[in-house]
């Protein structure tokens, strides 16, 4: 047994280290809050609607969830692997204003499916596994208190099975569906004539390796109307109208980045003359971790950044403070990027990762290389495989899901996660509240290339240039937010309103065409000195 003096010294040292650790956390930016202790399901797919509700979606063939469907809404399927007569919800609606959960009915398997909002605000949901492989579903959002639900289309289906595919809305309002397991092709919804139902894209086969690494390809619509498509460690510039590959980009060093190697990607904010698009891809697993089922192989922390619209561009490499797989990259209203969720070891897949990454990172794209990353306040809930992150209209980030198990399993160390929480970036801190604008007046609909005004109020009377930024509502799944984009509008200086009351009128110019921002509903934020308002929904139309 050690001496009393040695024990006392050890205890004092541990207390000192604990106080340093606590002090460090207390001084990191950002705060966390638990919104719902039991959502009933673990969300594999998440999307925010224009009615300020959130659609959470898991998969069928998983057995009982923790939310019962309304009477008479049971699903009977003799081929279900877990529960032939299933009276449990596998999708729910979350009301942001009340934190209430409403069960929704989904009939076919949405495991590792894809999605995108249509111009009218309908959520399109495509593919999955088993009976969902070629399925097309729609959810028409409704105001709180009404009982909208999923519709599974019976008169149309995908041209081929789509499991682990990616969706992107196009300038004409249609949706392109790219790739999937053993699907080296693209197709469109709605279909563009029988001859265009299925279009082969050999690039997706060329980049496949023996652990796949071409699933959930990163698809970004560039302001020139072409698509940047990235899979494994390579990318192409793709003309979807003519099915032509216009450019092959240099490979990105650092190993594979897509599923199952679990990096993430964003296109930075479009601004100025909208001619420049910058793509950032961060994190990923070491090649072979998936094949070897190695949960302890450290993730890498490298990021690649490329100007996708520059014909001579190449990747610029920078390093995150932490290695990370399964991180979600979320565009903030300010144009900065939040990197959140994930693990520091292993790969995607059931029981395939360890060492949860609890520290979010803020990526500041306008800072020099080496100064772009800021470490934020850590969370306490591991968000690993099958977790999501979505920007909310009030500027918080919604975190849901995490189920590293084939079925629901509430045994530690990484149990199925039913809690919903929110992370508030530093711009929502109390000491910046006097900078936060409020949008008092804004149009519901805006046409491309037209001028419009919004009226804001700001607690402080000293007001300079207030940004007005449009953020899309993407479909978040498997560490990639499909359809995510932020567009910074051209604005005039804030002009005081004649009636005073700290109100200011800002002249805005809508994006010139749908290549910059495809038609649909956007969250419009007024941003004053880096502090965003609560967003108002605006629909962009031709």
CATH number at 481 reads: 2.60.40.10
The sign of the torsion formed by the CA atoms of 242, 247, 248, 252 equals negative
Interior/surface letters 397-421, b for 16+ CB within 10 angstroms, e for the rest? bbbbbbbbbeebeeeeebbbbbbbb
One domain for residues 383 and 446: no
Answer whether residue 483 is part of any domain.
Answer: yes
One domain for residues 386 and 445: no
Answer whether residue 25 is part of any domain.
Answer: no
Q: Name the token pair of 501.
A: 């009351």
One domain for residues 520 and 416: no
Answer whether residue 26 is part of any domain.
Answer: no
Q: Name the token pair of 259.
A: 């599923």
One domain for residues 216 and 338: yes
One domain for residues 138 and 236: yes
Ordered per-residue pLDDT tens for the chain, 542 residues: 344 333 333 333 333 333 333 334 558 999 999 999 999 999 999 999 999 999 999 999 999 999 999 988 999 999 898 999 999 999 999 999 999 999 999 999 999 999 999 999 999 999 999 999 999 999 999 998 889 999 999 999 999 999 999 999 999 999 999 999 999 999 999 998 777 789 999 999 999 999 999 999 999 999 999 999 999 999 999 999 999 999 999 999 999 999 999 999 999 999 999 999 999 999 999 999 999 999 999 999 999 999 999 999 999 999 999 999 999 999 999 999 999 999 999 999 999 999 999 999 999 999 999 999 999 999 999 999 999 999 999 999 999 999 999 999 998 789 999 999 999 999 999 999 999 999 999 999 999 999 999 999 988 666 678 999 999 999 999 999 999 999 999 999 888 888 767 899 999 999 999 999 999 999 999 999 999 999 999 999 99
| Domain end call among 428, 450, 481 | 428
Instruction: Give the number of domains in the chain.
Output: 2
Give residue for tokens 């360890």.
Answer: 354
Answer whether residue 8 is part of any domain.
Answer: no
| Domain end call among 382, 412, 428 | 428
Answer whether residue 19 is part of any domain.
Answer: no
How far CA 2 is from CA of 9, 10, 16, 381, in Å, comes to 11, 10, 20, 36
One domain for residues 397 and 440: no
What is the CATH number for 234? 2.130.10.80
One domain for residues 404 and 474: no
| Domain end call among 378, 409, 428 | 428
Beta partners for 245? 238
Answer whether residue 285 is part of any domain.
Answer: yes
One domain for residues 97 and 211: yes
One domain for residues 488 and 509: yes
Q: Which 3 state secondary structure label does DSSP give 430?
A: helix
Q: What's the confidence (pLDDT) of residue 197?
A: 84
One domain for residues 298 and 328: yes
Residue numbers of the domain that contains 458? 436-541
Q: What's the confidence (pLDDT) of residue 306?
A: 98
Answer whether residue 4 is part of any domain.
Answer: no
Residues 89 and 108 sit within 8 Å (Cβ to Cβ)? no
Answer whether residue 16 is part of any domain.
Answer: no
One domain for residues 196 and 290: yes
CA distance 157 to 160: 8
Q: Return the half-sphere exposure (C-beta side, CA atoms, 13 A cut-off) of residue 445.
A: 6
One domain for residues 390 and 489: no
């Amino acid at each position: 047994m050690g001496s009393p003096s040695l024990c006392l010294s050890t205890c004092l040292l541990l207390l000192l280290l604990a106080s340093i650790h606590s002090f460090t956390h207390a001084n990191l930016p950002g705060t966390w809050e638990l919104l719902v202790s039991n959502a009933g399901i673990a969300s594999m797919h998440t999307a925010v609607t224009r009615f300020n509700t959130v659609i959470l979606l898991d998969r069928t063939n998983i057995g009982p969830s923790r939310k019962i469907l309304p009477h008479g809404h049971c699903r009977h399927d003799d081929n279900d692997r877990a529960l032939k007569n299933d009276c449990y919800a596998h999708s729910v609606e979350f009301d942001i204003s009340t934190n209430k959960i409403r069960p929704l009915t989904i009939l076919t398997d949405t495991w590792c499916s894809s999605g995108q909002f249509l111009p009218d605000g309908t959520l399109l949901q495509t593919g999955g596994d088993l009976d969902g492989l070629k399925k097309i579903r729609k959810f028409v959002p409704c105001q709180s208190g009404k009982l909208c639900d999923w519709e599974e289309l019976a008169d149309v289906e995908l041209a081929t099975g789509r499991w682990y595919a990616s969706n992107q809305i196009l300038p004409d309002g249609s949706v392109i569906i790219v790739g999937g397991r053993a699907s080296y092709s693209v197709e469109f919804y709605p279909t563009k004539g029988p001859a265009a139902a299925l279009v082969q894209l050999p690039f997706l086969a060329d980049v496949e390796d023996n652990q796949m690494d071409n699933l959930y390809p990163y698809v970004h619509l560039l302001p020139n109307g072409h698509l940047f498509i990235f899979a494994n460690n390579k990318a192409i510039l793709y003309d979807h109208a003519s099915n032509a590959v216009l450019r092959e980009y240099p490979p990105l060093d650092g190993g594979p980045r897509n599923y199952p190697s679990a990096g993430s990607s964003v296109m930075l904010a479009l601004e100025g003359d909208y001619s420049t698009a910058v793509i950032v891809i961060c994190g990923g697993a070491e090649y072979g971790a998936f094949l070897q089922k190695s949960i302890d192989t450290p993730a890498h922390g490298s990021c690649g950044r490329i100007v996708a619209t520059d014909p001579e561009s190449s990747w610029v490499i920078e390093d995150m403070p932490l290695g990370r797989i399964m991180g979600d990259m979320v565009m903030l209203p300010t144009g900065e990027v939040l990197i959140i969720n994930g693990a520091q070891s292993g790969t995607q897949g059931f029981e395939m990762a360890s060492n949860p990454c609890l520290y979010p990172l803020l990526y500041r794209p306008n800072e020099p290389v080496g100064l772009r990353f800021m470490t934020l306040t850590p969370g306490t809930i591991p968000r690993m495989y099958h977790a999501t992150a979505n920007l909310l209209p009030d500027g918080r980030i919604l975190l849901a899901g995490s189920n590293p198990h084939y079925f629901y399993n509430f045994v530690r160390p990484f149990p199925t996660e039913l809690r919903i929480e929110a992370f508030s970036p530093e711009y929502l801190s109390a000491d910046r509240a006097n900078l936060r604008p409020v949008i008092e007046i804004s149009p519901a609909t805006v046409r491309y290339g037209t001028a419009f005004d919004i009226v804001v109020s700001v607690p402080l009377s000293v007001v300079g240039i207030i940004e007005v930024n449009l953020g899309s509502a993407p479909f978040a799944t498997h560490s990639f937010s499909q359809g995510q984009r932020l567009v910074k509008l051209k604005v005039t200086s804030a002009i005081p309103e004649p009636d005073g009351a700290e109100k200011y009128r800002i002249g805005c110019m809508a994006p010139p065409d749908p290549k910059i921002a495809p038609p649909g509903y956007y969250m419009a934020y007024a941003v004053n000195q880096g502090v965003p308002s609560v967003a108002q929904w605006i629909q962009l139309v031709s």
